[in-house]
Chain A
Amino acid sequence: MHDPINTAIQIVVVLLLPPLLQGVIGKTKALFAGRMGPPFLQQYYDLFKLFQKDSVFSTTTTWIFRAGPVVALVTAFVAALFIPMGSPRSAVSFVGDPIVLAYVLGLSRFFTTSAALDTGSPFEGMGAAREVTFACLAEPALFLGLLVIANLTGSLQLDTMLGTVTDHWSTEGASLALVLTGWSIVLLAENCRIPFDDPNTHLELTMIHEVMVLDHSGPAFGMILYGASMKLLIFSALVVRLLIPLTGQGPWLDWPLFIAGALVVAVLVGVMESSMARLRLTHVPALLISACMLSAFGFVLLMR
């Protein structure tokens, strides 16, 4: 906490920005489909409404089912504090924090999938199985990218890594472009967007994330939605900071720049979702392995 202003801004942004990203994605998709679409602030309304609602719990469930949403939200918030956003320093930072980031999100995965199995529903079991399977392939892609960036910047601290990595675009642009592609694929996979998962589909058999949370209702469901939006912010931030350097002109310029970047990522996700279809489930691993290969290739290029 070296920089109270930036830390405060980061906490506010992490708490307030995520639902807007979902709104932007929805609006973009609506524009492509020629509709008006829900307002940008739709998810804020949704969350507000969900937190007012009653809850329904299955008689099958135990405390794990109630713990799942809490863990999902808290871990997403904690993980988001490690990400450097619109300031040179992230709110929390120490050597090795990218590893912490990945493992904190792993904790969230453990509890959300366990919560899904707690209901005893075959559909939710299916979703949980898919979630853990695809995460197994997304994780190495993330780490291979980290390897490239750690090698270029000589640091293992996210804010230093992402703060200085943009200097290397002129010399090692090829490797970084590969990592950027790999991480973009990871972004789509981890946040269950098309082409991995269709958040708007209506057939439980084809879903991943949405089918896991079928039984959650009311505030619990609200926490899950909120946590998922935060996760989208986390991965967008990684991609944005990999691509765009800070101006160094102080928080009043850098933070708007970062937020604009995150919104552009949201628009791009929306464009992506409007322009292509879901992959067949059996082909999802191939795409994720390609993401690993791309990042690995980027690393091998550096070692050359």
Chain B
Amino acid sequence: MPERTVLLALALAAVSGLLGLLFPRRSPWGQRLTTLVAVAAGSLGLAGVAHYWQRGDSEAIVYPWNLLPGAEFHVLVDGLSAVFLVPIFAVFLLGSIYGLGYWRQAEYPDSGRKLRVFYGFLAAGMAVVVVARNAILFIFGWEVMALSAFFLVATEDERADVRAAGWLYLVATHTATLSLFATFMLFRAASGSYDLVPIATGAATPAMLNSIFGLALLGFGIKAGIMPLHVWLPTSHAMAPSHVSAIMSGVIIKMGVYGLVRMSSLLPLTVEWGVIVLGLGAISAVLGVAFAIGQQDLKRLLAYSSIENIGIVFLGLGLAMLGRSLERPDLVVLGLAGALLHVVNHSFFKSMLFLAAGSVIHATHTRDIDLLGGLSKRMRWTALAFVIGAVAICGLPPLNGFVSEFVIYLGLFGTLGADHHALVSAVAFGAPVLAFVGALAVACFVRAYGVVFLGVPRTAPASHAHESPPSILFALAVLALGCMALGLYPPLAVLPLGQAVQAWAPDIADATADLERLVPWQPLSTLALSLAAGLAAVGTLLWTQLGRSRVHESVTWGCGYQGGTPRIQYTSSSFGEMLVGLFSWALRPRIHLPFIKQLFPQESYFRSHVPDPVLDEAVVPGLYWSANLLAWFRVFQQGSIHLYLTYIFAALLVLLLIPQ
């Protein structure tokens, strides 16, 4: 039974960090043991998932759990859980190995052990979320995950900016939890129990269902980082250690997606919800990547790009929801399979990009891309990993990002020609939106890759960079291979995705067969393989041919100007200037121009940056405003015990007087 394997794996993950506490602070053996256990836990978990896909013999494990009325230890692996378990265990495993080189106990004696304890808890919490079939157990796992993530973000808590990022994250995650409490309470009112089982059509009023869905969208949307609810995401991703950022971006935000996917499988869906999710997805995708183009901090850039990718996932999910409410199994299959495949793909390439970014930070001690440059000569393998991740995240063939976007495209085009509803015809506009996002992503990642790795080093740290240790490169290599495997041979994904879709929409006769029929898996694979082979063949042909003619080396042609310095290169700001200008209505870039007063002006400088307008101009002023408003209640808090006793008495009186 896969459940036992998964439970064992998550228990191992949870204790992995605790074992490290048994060793003294200075000893490297604690970290080694922790990593060993983490690798065992990750492999065991992945083996459990593989076993499930092969046999499909899952069986619920149920134990009574008298924590709260309605609570029950109820665990079941189904197709959906299996798909989400893959990134959880894979990224946890690789992140732990990466930590051996990136967060060595010898270098970080104070924070290292704490980090690994919570890293293990985080993985265990997420695994509980994914397999839980009882709302209380779900919330329990959710909180373990949310709080461990807080401690992980705040790993370097001696720094004020890290603490601020941690607090921001904590506020956001608690808002999400509050919303989920309300969701599940309403859910119980509608379904009669905390068990996560579908609500029958007609069992609850539309108003009730709308509020359940709205609250779930708010709670899970905050965790997923969908566009106006993303305020916590960029800062905490940037401030956390890179392997923590990798698991946050690759896996934690996917828990929000999982929650919404699970919840939407339990409720009778309406067309409007599908369109809302789709619309949110479109907004997130476009604005997420637009913000990414405006960033100069490499990890903030990657964080905004996660918002974009969550947007793409929501496009697919919205489509699936639409398909189910319209009883169009083809839209369900294509939308959900595309969304889930993108979840897995994104967890691979985004984790890889964060780990590669960590490798760069490890070598240069800066996250500012305008201070870097020319790293691909000094960090060849990191650069190679980054370019693979960049091609994959732009959704370009022959790598995996293309496959999931392709499936979502097929679904979006599938809405054509069916005149169900006025809104549905508007959904087809998702296809050009996705094309726009794809092109913007190319701009974003060419900019990031080009400015960080290509050209000549802009500053001393960049010119003295060195390649990272093997443990870092190993993690990058495994993820790169994952991206290539799913890109070159996508039929691998058919069975897991088919089972997941089947679990989400049991009314479809045979989701796997539908998926096989609707998507040209084999041609996609042939295309990717022949493209890769063609590139390799022509490349080899040309450069062996060149070997026979003469190759000269020279400096870059400066169009006649030979006094160039590294600083003359195009910077990230100049590269993104036109696109930031096109989006200036949303990005609100801050531009500090020099003001020249006299002839022969003094040395001056120009700065521009793109802050987050939702945080700076809506959330923070809104919180100040509400704090001022609520300050009025201070009059009740006078510090006098007598007054408080009076309050209690008054409250009792009121309760007694309320008519039964």
Contacts and interface: CB of A to CB of B under 8 A. Distances in A.
A touching B, CB within 8 angstroms? yes
Interface of A: 52-62, 64, 66-67, 69-71, 73-75, 77-78, 92, 94-96, 99-100, 102-104, 106-107, 109-110, 113-114, 117-126, 128-130, 132-133, 135-140, 142-144, 146-147, 150-151, 154, 156, 204, 214-215, 218-220, 223, 285, 292, 296, 299, 303
B18 to A, nearest CB: 45
A125 B558 contact: no
Q: Which 5 A-B pairs have the closest CB atoms?
A: A125-B570, A117-B450, A120-B455, A132-B443, A94-B523
Given A73-B538, A100-B406, A114 B416 contact: no
Nearest to A123: B559
A113 to B, nearest CB: 5
Contact of A57 (B373, B446, B552): B552
Contacts of A67: 535, 539
Chain B interface main SS type: helix
Interface string B400-417: 001001100110010011
B456 to A, nearest CB: 5
Contacts of A214: 557, 559
A223 B432 CA distance: 31
A130 B435 contact: no
Nearest to A284: B578
Given A78-B531, A100-B527, A132-B443, A110 B376 contact: no
B30 interface: no
A150 B542 contact: no
B141 interface: no
A113 B433 CA distance: 23
10 contacts: A58-B555, A59-B553, A96-B413, A103-B396, A113-B442, A121-B557, A125-B450, A133-B579, A147-B431, A219-B546
Nearest to B373: A120
Nearest to B391: A110
B551 A60 contact: no
B11 to A, nearest CB: 43
B290 to A, nearest CB: 10
B442 A156 contact: no
Nearest to A142: B435
A67 B449 CA distance: 15
B438 interface: yes
A125 B574 contact: yes
Interface string B552-572: 111111110000101011100
A151 B535 CA distance: 35
A94 to B, nearest CB: 4
Interface in B516-568: 519-520, 523-524, 527, 530-531, 534-535, 538-539, 542-543, 545-546, 549-559, 564, 566, 568
Contacts of A151: 416-417, 428
Interface of B: 373-374, 376-377, 383, 387, 390-391, 394-397, 402, 405-406, 409-410, 413, 416-417, 425, 428-429, 431-436, 438-440, 442-443, 445-447, 449-451, 454-456, 519-520, 523-524, 527, 530-531, 534-535, 538-539, 542-543, 545-546, 549-559, 564, 566, 568-570, 574-579, 582
B578 A204 contact: no
A221 to B, nearest CB: 12
Nearest to B422: A303
Contact of B442 (A52, A106, A120): A106
A102 B428 CA distance: 17
A51 B431 CA distance: 40
Nearest to B377: A62
Given A78-B534, A118-B454, A147-B431, A132 B554 contact: no
A53 B535 CA distance: 22
A70 B455 contact: no
A59 B417 contact: no
Given A95-B410, A106-B396, A117 B553 contact: no
A122 B456 contact: no
A241 to B, nearest CB: 19
A58 B557 contact: yes
Nearest to B530: A78
Given A96-B409, A147-B416, A219-B542, 20 more contacts: A60-B555, A60-B556, A74-B531, A74-B535, A78-B527, A106-B439, A107-B396, A110-B396, A114-B387, A118-B454, A119-B455, A120-B455, A129-B575, A132-B446, A138-B439, A147-B413, A147-B428, A154-B416, A215-B556, A219-B545
A92 B530 CA distance: 12
Contact of B450 (A128, A133, A220): A128
Contacts of B519: 95-96
Contact of B577 (A62, A129, A220): A129
A136 B579 contact: yes
A7 B556 CA distance: 42
A61 B413 CA distance: 41
A129 B542 contact: no
Nearest to A120: B455
Nearest to A129: B575
B450 A56 contact: no
A60 B375 CA distance: 11
